Amino acid sequence: MDDVETARKEDPIDFALWKGAKPGEISWDAPFGPGRPGWHIECSVMSTKLLGDTIDIHGGGQDLEFPHHQNEIAQSEAKTGKTFVHYWMHNGFVTVGEDDQKMSKSLGNFVTVHDIIKTVDPMVLRFFMATTQYRKPIRYTEANLAAAATDLEHLRTARANLEFRQQGAAKGTDPQVVTAVADLKQRFITAMDDDINVANGLAVLYELVKLMNGYANADTVHAEAVALLLTTFDDWMQIFGVQTATTDELLDADVEQMIYDRDAARAAKDFATSDRIRDELTERGIILEDTAQGTRWRRA
């Protein structure tokens, strides 16, 4: 910041709401001269226009807490006279290397999701990302990703073994299982309500899995108890965004139709629909590759 710009401020630490245009920059006309919005004002304008004067949850990386979010609060509340945000959720960084360096494009030490899922089950990546508390750094290493794959495979195996026992299960339920699940549910809710404490939530999940494994090996199982265990397990895994249940494989014709729908959405600049279709296909084990010759696909 030069001395001329500082001299024009009422206080040296004031931030810019409007920046005067420099030669060659994109600019818009304004009563106080051509220029562009300051970095912080853009976010306040988008938030209040699309979500209203007060929003419930505002997220962002820890590096945005100051000065960006502090400045958003100052200018938004000065304009509206209302509370800008009720809850702020600042996420930790994805880090790489022994020195836990922040992963970023500017440092050139990043890897894209699309590249990762070429060789890694997308559900493994989700499990790896989701099982770190959101304020904590996510330490991306091949070893940590492999450990997540092993853990997820154990969870899938436990579910498959119990699901197998549904065949020939006795009618009715098991009061001991019902009581145990009710206790685990309450503990899981308590953990996740504590600022999404996934470490404690996972500890309860693994207790549920231990219960599932024990019941799968019991001499007699009851259909309602098995269903309760499986439903509880699936519900909790869904909270982590991970699918463990077996799904019917998409037929080739179904894939081609979804790709056609996605291409049509992209042509219409409906990127929300385009991204949703890609994500749905990824979850079903279909990897898309956009090439100059069109969209190609393969099974993961």
Return the minimum-mean-pLDDT range out of 5-9, 60-64, 84-88, 273-277: 5-9
pLDDT of amino acid 250: 57
Q: What is the pLDDT, as a whole number, of residue 39?
A: 85
The whole-chain average pLDDT of the chain stands at: 89
Cβ–Cβ < 8 Å for 67, 60: no
In 115-206, beta strands by DSSP E: 138-139
Cα separation, 7 vs 235, in Å, equals: 59
Amino acid at 40: H
pLDDT tops 80 at residue 3: no
User: Which tens digit of pLDDT belongs to each residue from 11-37?
Assistant: 888 888 888 899 989 999 999 899 999
**Percent of the residues in the chain that have a pLDDT greater than 90, as a whole number:** 62
Give the integer Cα–Cα distance in Å for 73 and 80: 10
pLDDT in tens, 179-228: 999 999 999 999 999 999 999 999 999 999 999 999 999 999 999 999 99
Question: What is the per-residue pLDDT for 246?
Answer: 53
Put simply, whether the predicted model's pTM sits higher than 0.85 gets the answer no
**Under CATH, to which class is 96-239 assigned?**
mainly alpha
AA identity, residue 88: W
pLDDT for the residue 109: 77
pLDDT digits (tens, 9 = 90+) for 118-128: 889 999 999 99
Of the ranges 99-113, 136-150, 248-262, which is most confident? 136-150
Q: Is 221 helix (H, G, I), strand (E, B) or coil?
A: coil
Band (96; pLDDT cuts 50, 70, 90) = confident
Q: Which two tokens stand for residue 291?
A: 């090439």
Is there a contact between 137 and 95 (Cβ–Cβ < 8 Å)? yes
Q: What is the pLDDT of residue 153?
A: 92
pLDDT given at position 199: 95
Question: What pLDDT, on a 0 to 100 scale, did the predictor assign at position 50?
Answer: 95
Quick one: pLDDT at residue 249?
52
pLDDT of 285: 80
